[in-house]
Chain A
Amino acid sequence: MKCKKNITILIMISILVLFLGFGANAKTFRVAVIMPSAISDLAFSQSMYDSLLTIQEEMGKENFEFVYSENMFVVADAAAAIRDYASEGYDLVIAHGSQYGSSLVDIAPDFPNTSFTWGTSVSTFSDQGITNIFAYEARSEEGGYVCGVLAAKLSESNVYGVIGPIETGDAKLYVDGFKAGVLATKPDAQVNVNWTGSFSDVALASEAAQTHINVGADVLTGTAQMVVGAIGVARQRGVLWFGTQADQTSIAPEVVVANQVYDWTVVLRPMIQLIREGTIGGTTYALTLANGGLKIVVNQEALVGKTIQDIIEGKIDIEL
């Protein structure tokens, strides 16, 4: 009997401590994010990580904290992490991957006071009566179109190689936009598309790049984290590359012409605002060129830098 009493007291004390702990941090906005690949993938996961760092800089470390789990490519593990974070009382749990949607439908109703968000998707599951999920997407066809127009201007063979992961979400939008941009500029262009069926198969992406070049492509592009293999091939064989999701210039500055960069801060800022005002779900956000969520980062070195440098160094003699 005495033992039971002691346990009850212990539990009460720990609850008290927990409340005090939260009380001390009442003003700090706490975010947990689950990402399918590494925060340094120069693609999808890194774009979110970098955006969270920016938000933290804006709001100050004392007002904004975030924790992350990277490389959660196994959906079941990701679901466990989402549940853990939710039960630890984070204000916002970000499931950064379209593969995590069904897990959120399971988990969100169990934590009605926690806000969840996921993408890329347009579904907040409000049709299923769930009110605490936000969704976000990237209108990556916009930047894809810009890259396509640029690519068409630069290509000599008029054959283009595209490497995508799975025909869905922002990857499909980007590929379709790129194609449209090329064809709008050069209607007789040949745009070849290859899907690797995986976000992480670097070897297959690399072989796809080799095959694209073998059939005549002199400009390549691709989306998802496995494209690093393809960028390596582009660099080795001297064909141009257009990146998306993050700035991939550092991998191969000689051949990366331009990148569509995702800036999720335009999604995160209004979301945090709404959550602080008490609305914890139901809205879908999008990155667009118009709202600044999509940016085109041009790498001068690959585009014009070399020509300028050649003129400065006297390697080019301009005959008039």
Chain B
Amino acid sequence: MEAIIIGIAKSAIRLATPYLYASIGETIGQLSGVLNLGVDGVMLMGAFSAFYTVLRTGNLWLGLLAAIVVGAIFGLLIAFINVTLKAEQGISGIGVYIFGLGLSSLLFSTMVGTVQTVSGFPPLSIPLLSNIPVVGEIFFQQNILVYGAFALVPISWFILTKTPLGLSIRAVGQHPEAADSLGVNIVRIRYFTVVLGGMLSGIAGASLSIALLNVFQQNLTNGMGFIAVALVYFGAWRPKTVLIGALLFSTVNAIQIWIQVKGINIPSDFTLMLPYIVTIVVLAAMAKRRIHPPAALNKPFERGE
């Protein structure tokens, strides 16, 4: 029983990792009023750049840096389209997704060609903590990008709720006119959050290609970026609830894998639906809380004269 729980919990933590990076990045962007549906495309570009860099140089940190830089470039592009050009955010995001999907596939087929594996970030046992029975094995024998994803939750919570920067971000998303009149530079804040979101999406991709799966192929993320956007709504724009959502989704997924492997007689079509069913049920139950999205979400800022 203990081995089963450890196995499922370790699976769940690994599965939640890319969602955490991407969802928290998206949360910060949305809190400032910018909806980015292109997360999956940026993840794919991050995954490819990290993979390619590691394949050529063998340097994992350089790979991670490549994903961050490429993520930032995509973030700049998204910010330029949505903030400066004031495009319709839902549609431009889909455009960015398709661009990232296509470009990463093209680069992969021309620069790599065939499926190859790399040696990714190895498990890193945290001294003392990793020796705690069960808990140590589940939480403290993972790789460094997994630790990073979970560390991001308190860090982003702190920045968003306890710092002047966080206050500005939320003000820009709730009431941009008021923030503007108080001298907050709306355009600069939104560029900052969207570029940061791009970097985190890039790391989300890298966590797949050079830490968890250690492989790249076309459409590696398989739509994870869209689940990440859904998790932002599930988490009601709070890092802590985003974490709960990501863990819920991936734990149920880990359990359904285990149910199938153990040959428990439930049709696979049904077990595969479980993560989605559970997430929808929880969402419906939470609907009573009536949490509204940031008031200025999806609205370009026009300064009234």
Contact = CB atoms under 8 A, between A and B. Distances in A.
B105 A38 contact: yes
Nearest to A39: B109
Interface in A111-131: none
B257 interface: yes
B148 interface: no
Contact of A202 (B215, B254, B260, B261): B215
A251 B118 CA distance: 10
B302 to A, nearest CB: 36
A212 interface: yes
B261 A208 contact: yes
Interface string B259-286: 0111100001100100000000000000
Interface string A34-77: 00011111100000000000000000000000000011010000
A99 to B, nearest CB: 15
Contacts of B215: 202, 228-229, 231-232, 251
Contact of B261 (A192, A198, A228): A192
Interface string A212-249: 10110000000001101101100110000000000000
A37 B218 contact: yes
Contacts of B263: 192-193
Contacts of A251: 115-117, 215
Q: Max chain B CB contacts within 10 Å: which of A70, A206, A252? A: A206
Given A38-B218, A214-B3, A250-B114, A207 B14 contact: yes
Interface stretch (B192-200, B206-214, B231-239): B206-214
Contact of B260 (A71, A194, A198): A194
A28 interface: no
A70 B109 CA distance: 11
Q: Which of B108, B109, B114, B224 gathers most chain A CB within 10 Å?
A: B114
A211 B214 contact: no
Given A193-B260, A212-B261, A252-B117, A203 B208 contact: yes
B113 interface: yes
A4 B224 CA distance: 54
Contacts of A98: none
Given A41-B115, A194-B257, A228-B215, A203 B7 contact: no
B213 A203 contact: yes
A40 B110 CA distance: 11
Given A197-B268, A203-B213, A235 B117 contact: yes
Contacts of A225: 217
B260 A195 contact: yes
Contacts of A194: 257, 260-261, 268
A188 B144 CA distance: 41
Contact of B212 (A167, A193, A206): A206
B115 A228 contact: yes
B222 interface: yes
B222 A207 contact: no
B59 to A, nearest CB: 19
30 contacts: A38-B218, A40-B113, A70-B218, A71-B218, A161-B261, A167-B268, A193-B263, A194-B261, A196-B272, A200-B222, A202-B220, A203-B15, A203-B18, A203-B222, A203-B224, A204-B257, A207-B253, A208-B261, A210-B14, A211-B7, A215-B261, A228-B115, A228-B215, A229-B215, A231-B215, A232-B214, A251-B115, A251-B116, A251-B117, A251-B215
Given A210-B7, A211-B7, A226-B222, 8 more contacts: A40-B109, A40-B114, A42-B115, A167-B268, A193-B263, A202-B215, A215-B261, A229-B215
